[in-house]
Structure 1
């Protein structure tokens, strides 16, 4: 993952950017060019989501195994990093969703949007408990819809719960002394991931089934490559190209979430990593700058593109390419601008949170010391 020695980190950023564009373009096709969905080819938005889960598993596995070499790296540090990464984009995007949906209702009117907007729904989406699936799904307290037009949030809920579940389990093993604190976290946040393990049967015919299994496959890919150092451009290219060609040839539209198709996507990512481990290819800094630019707002684009396209769909659903192209461009431009002040500053947010928590700890310890001295 060292950018000075190989192109792996850059390649993974490129895959992240491509996955976000696939979701954006795929939803644009669904809105404005539905006839293109009759080709039988895998739907880009679904493939993009699946790629996100493979990449997420790979990178979180890297984060946990590498950063835990430092004894000071704890579950709290992991939580701060993940929370800053997610909420730096989620909070402004939720506010943007509310703003755009309000304008859509006022200018156009839409009963679907009107029925999925309230302060409690906003809070449920902020806490990422909407679309809860698990042993407690019969409780009305946990039954909340996705807010307004922000339908892509359903996968973010799964990702967030996977992060905390896997992180808690990892640190239970790494620091058994803290198990009493981490076990409840694992129990609470493990319900949704385990539901999406081996083929959850849902009302939507299994949409999202086995996403946690796919995530774990991505995570295990890093463990394998960490143990067996493979560095071959030829082998990696053959593996990546062969697996993606086989995936397109064997996977049909609307069947992307069948677990039998997942190994080919995992092999594709493995092939990209193996090929890019062999060293640096691009001598010019410009390709890296372009890739990192698009990757830098990929999460924001994923969160808001559907909301930005929805009003155009209500107004001009039959306009075809004349609306499709501007809609995709507007989504990218807005996401890039918003991310400049939010998503791209998640590391600064993480540092700020660490400083705040350190100050609180220092204050609490000082108060405890004063009480002990007074008691003595």
Structure 2
């Protein structure tokens, strides 16, 4: 398995940043210009929901590549996988939960009748912290997708590492399958797990696709087909459209991966920095939009200021939290290894 080219890595960094901005702007347009149930989705499907489909592809693709690297260089270390996933999610989830809780409680003093305050409770906080499918805490509306994605991680890890840690993985498979197929897939978003596993399958075949440059040219017909279905059905979670978009993104990435042209250090750092706060932005943006809309009303000034503030706050929060997820993973792995060593001593 060859490493992703610099162009391909930069592409995925830009894609993560771009998808987060689409979610932010889509929610902002709907909230500030009263487009819910009208312009969205009667004329065009919800753009932010299509972006979520894109996030599931990116997640499946990158995690599968990470697992393939794990097997190649670490022999298939289940502990490394689960600790890495835990660190990646919770270095953003915990700060985001606390940010939303504090913001909702502070603004509740000025706007006690705000509808979403109904969901600010200790029960929702605990369930959201455990990523158990439940009502989001207050204005933390986007967490539903993380609840979906988290249990796919658990299921995937159980399937991949079953022969390494069979008892633990059996539990992961049972819990992951229960929440993925029995609970989450029954919601409005449908079978996003199919998109996730399609991304993972694309990662598995990616090196072969990179060598077949003539196939990669089919990315644009795939994109056109996806757009046509989205516009015709007005269904942001249409499975066939989502799979066509996934195919197009995989083929486009393969085409970029076949290009060995170097990317400037400045450009790499810029896009890596932009992607570095996309997860935090995804988790916290709705809170910023919601309370600015309450304060300033449905105005263009409110819309523009909320877009800017959401990005600035997410960047500041991620700078202290999300960007350190790899360091947290290393520390947790070291703690696990020390614990095992102590238990092995007579």
Structure 1 residues 37 and 358: CA distance shift in structure 2, 3 A: same
Answering whether residue 160 of structure 2 is matched by residue 170 of structure 1, we say yes
Native 8 Å contact 2:226 2:240 kept in 1: no
Deviations 1:67-115 (A, max 9, x none): 1123554221101000000000110010000011011211112353332
Structure 1 residues 240 and 308: CA distance shift in structure 2, 3 A: same
Correspondence for 1:308: 288
Q: How does 1:121-140 map to 2 (within 5 A)?
A: 121-131=124-134
How many equivalent residue pairs?
341
1:208 to 166, 189, 195: 189
Answering whether residue 66 of structure 2 is matched by residue 79 of structure 1, we say no
Structure 1 residues 181 and 201: CA distance shift in structure 2, 3 A: closer
Correspondence for 2:338: 359
Correspondence for 2:29: 29
Native 8 Å contact 2:45 2:236 kept in 1: yes
Answering whether residue 256 of structure 2 is matched by residue 272 of structure 1, we say no
Mean CA deviation greater in 179-188 or 149-158:
179-188
Native 8 Å contact 1:116 1:147 kept in 2: yes
2:304 to 307, 317, 325: 325
Deviation of 1:38 after TM superposition, in Å, equals: 6.7
The structure with the greater share of residues assigned to helix is 2
Deviations 1:130-162 (A, max 9, x none): 33xxxxxxxxxxxxx210010100000011100
Answering whether residue 7 of structure 2 is matched by residue 2 of structure 1, we say no
Structure 1 residues 37 and 208: CA distance shift in structure 2, 3 A: closer
Rg (Cα) greater in structure: 1
Answering whether residue 323 of structure 2 is matched by residue 344 of structure 1, we say yes
Distance in 2 (alpha carbons) for counterparts of 1:179 and 1:2: 29
Structure 1 residues 228 and 248: CA distance shift in structure 2, 3 A: closer
Native 8 Å contact 1:297 1:343 kept in 2: yes
Deviation of 1:285 after TM superposition, in Å, equals: 2.3
Native 8 Å contact 1:104 1:311 kept in 2: yes
1:299 to 274, 279, 294: 279
| 5+ long unaligned stretches in structure 2 | none
Deviation of 1:10 after TM superposition, in Å, equals: 1.4
SS in 2 for 1:146: coil
SS in 1 for 2:264: coil
Deviations 1:181-200 (A, max 9, x none): 32122101221222379xx5
Distance in 2 (alpha carbons) for counterparts of 1:262 and 1:312: 32
Native 8 Å contact 1:165 1:189 kept in 2: yes
Q: How does 1:83-232 map to 2 (within 5 A)?
A: 83-131=86-134, 145-172=135-162, 174-175=163-164, 178-195=165-182, 200-202=185-187, 207-230=188-211, 232=213
Correspondence for 2:242: 262
Deviation of 1:66 after TM superposition, in Å, equals: 2.1
Superposition CA RMSD, Å = 2.2
Deviation of 1:33 after TM superposition, in Å, equals: 2.4
SS in 1 for 2:312: helix
Native 8 Å contact 2:83 2:333 kept in 1: yes
Distance in 2 (alpha carbons) for counterparts of 1:280 and 1:110: 57
| 5+ long unaligned stretches in structure 1 | 132-144, 370-376
Q: Normalization by structure 2: what TM-score? A: 0.91
Q: Normalization by structure 1: what TM-score? A: 0.84
Distance in 1 (alpha carbons) for counterparts of 2:242 and 2:116: 34
